[in-house]
């Protein structure tokens, strides 16, 4: 982390301390806790976000990728559902573009379906049976089969990682709790492009939408559950 990022983080911690008192006095910052049937949701850790040189490239992959590798190993050991998302488009600049109006705000036209940019980073590549959802909007739930897939597996807890925290991770977390799943956002497993955005959104998500937990706590939880079965 750069010196400027350190300064931003220190300043935010001072603000968060004051904000926490406001939230706590008003009944916020409650804990949703872990359930008994988790799934792992890895949001947009595709090359366009994890590798250098793209418009969407995010920082701190030296922490995010290892955290996700640990979570994937634990998830696979317990045979829990693993779902990845990528965001990509078939015809981003044509007359029948599937980007909607998003291209008016951000360079979504740079990530096309079927290209290397849209592929999940090889360091955390999916294995057979793991779902890869190509979404068109920020939330992993918007216009996808995710909620139905999770309900079919009787999932009650959604462990969430990925990028970007201010966008797709946040909106997926908000939709997760709205759909009846317990969102657990893994602190070391998420990131963004702009200093300060990560800390602020972790604080705000933890206050209102889900629990932010360190990776070690999530690994301990996964270690303590029984392996999934189909019954």
Q: Which of 72, 108, 168, 190 is catalytic?
A: 168
Q: Are 109 and 92 in contact (CB under 8 A)?
A: yes
- How many residues in total does the chain contain? 231
Closest CA to 51 of 136, 129, 115: 115
CA 170 – CA 185 distance, rounded (Å): 9
Closest CA to 165 of 185, 135, 150, 147: 185
Strands 131-135 and 211-213: unpaired
Q: Are 37 and 221 in contact (CB under 8 A)?
A: no
What's the alpha-carbon Rg for the chain, to the nearest Å? 17
Buried b (16+ CB within 10 A) or exposed e, 153-177: eebbbbbbbbbbbbbbbbbbbbbbb
Q: Are 161 and 187 in contact (CB under 8 A)?
A: no
Q: Are 41 and 140 in contact (CB under 8 A)?
A: yes
Annotated catalytic residue 134: no
Q: Give catalytic residue positions.
A: 168
């Amino acid at each position: 982390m750069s010196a400027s990022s350190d300064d931003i983080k220190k300043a935010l911690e001072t603000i968060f301390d004051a904000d926490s008192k406001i939230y706590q006095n008003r009944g916020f910052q409650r804990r949703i806790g872990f359930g008994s049937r988790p799934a792992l949701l890895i949001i947009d850790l595709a090359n366009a976000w994890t590798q250098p040189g793209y418009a969407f490239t995010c920082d701190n992959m030296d922490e995010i990728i290892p955290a996700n590798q640990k979570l994937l190993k634990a998830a696979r050991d317990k045979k829990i559902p693993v779902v990845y998302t990528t965001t990509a488009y078939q015809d981003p600049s044509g007359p029948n573009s599937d980007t909607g109006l998003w291209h008016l705000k951000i360079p979504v036209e740079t990530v096309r379906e079927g290209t290397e940019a849209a592929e999940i980073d090889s360091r955390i590549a999916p294995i057979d049976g793991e779902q890869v959802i190509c979404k068109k909007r920020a939330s992993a739930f918007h216009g996808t089969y995710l909620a139905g897939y999770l309900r079919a597996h009787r999932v009650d807890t959604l462990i969430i990682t990925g990028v970007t925290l201010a966008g797709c991770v946040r909106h997926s977390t908000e939709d997760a709790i709205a759909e009846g799943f317990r969102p657990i956002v893994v602190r070391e497993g998420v990131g963004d492009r702009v200093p300060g955005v990560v800390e602020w959104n972790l604080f705000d998500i933890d206050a209102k939408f889900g629990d932010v937990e360190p990776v070690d706590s999530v690994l301990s939880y996964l270690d303590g559950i029984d392996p999934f079965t189909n019954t």
